[in-house]
Chain A
Amino acid sequence: DAMVIQNPRYQVTQFGKPVTLSCSQTLNHNVMYWYQQKSSQAPKLLFHYYDKDFNNEADTPDNFQSRRPNTSFCFLDIRSPGLGDAAMYLCATSRGRNEQYFGPGTRLTVT
């Protein structure tokens, strides 16, 4: 089945230690998104790629970076995680203006 896959599902990192979360999709969608979702809150868009074009939200901290080496894969890099970065990170894809398809998320714990 076509889907959005996120690895790992759970990630523990130390304060200040760089961490990378990955997302892959078999839907061949041209748009990929990264969201941060804290407990009982709405997902907050960090950035998205429209094809190869990177679009950063104005309030996304510089600590967060992203790479999209090809259509199928997208990575979220957190250069120096702080305690406040502990959250669920959701990857989503869409084709054009259609609805988003979400991955299962990666729960990040910062110790």
Chain B
Amino acid sequence: AQTVTQSQPEMSVQEAETVTLSCTYDTSESDYYLFWYKQPPSRQMILVIRQEAYKQQNATENRFSVNFQKAAKSFSLKISDSQLGDAAMYFCAYRTGNQFYFGTGTSLTVIP
């Protein structure tokens, strides 16, 4: 069975600093996709970044980047130059076919 584990229920970071959120997953599939979603309080879930498993290069989106370690089944999210607006729940998600699996989330606090 596919599972997604986020071992950090809560994280905090000083504004302008860098923080890394961890995610591991378990799968026997070779073809899959990984995502990080952001869900601000009482607001819509939005995509932060995606990674195709067949790509060795780590995805980046402005201040957001991932460290994808396929052999270790690890997919961490690095947020650089953290901003107050980055405060949210972050969910790691795994997709194979039309099946999505979410981790339990990491609540990120940004300290001014």
* Residues of A participating in the B interface, judged by any CB pair closer than 8 Å: 31, 33, 40-43, 45, 48, 50, 55, 90, 92, 94, 97, 99-105
Contacts and interface: CB of A to CB of B under 8 A. Distances in A.
Interface of B: 33, 35, 37, 43-47, 50, 89, 91, 95, 97-100, 102-105, 107
Secondary structure at the B interface, as helix, strand, loop or mixed, is strand
B100 A100 contact: yes
B103 A42 contact: yes
Contact of A105 (B44, B46, B89, B104): B44
Task: Pick the 3 closest A-B CB pairs, nearest first.
Answer: A42-B102, A102-B45, A104-B44
B47 A99 contact: yes
B98 A48 contact: yes
Given A97-B33, A102-B46, A55 B98 contact: yes
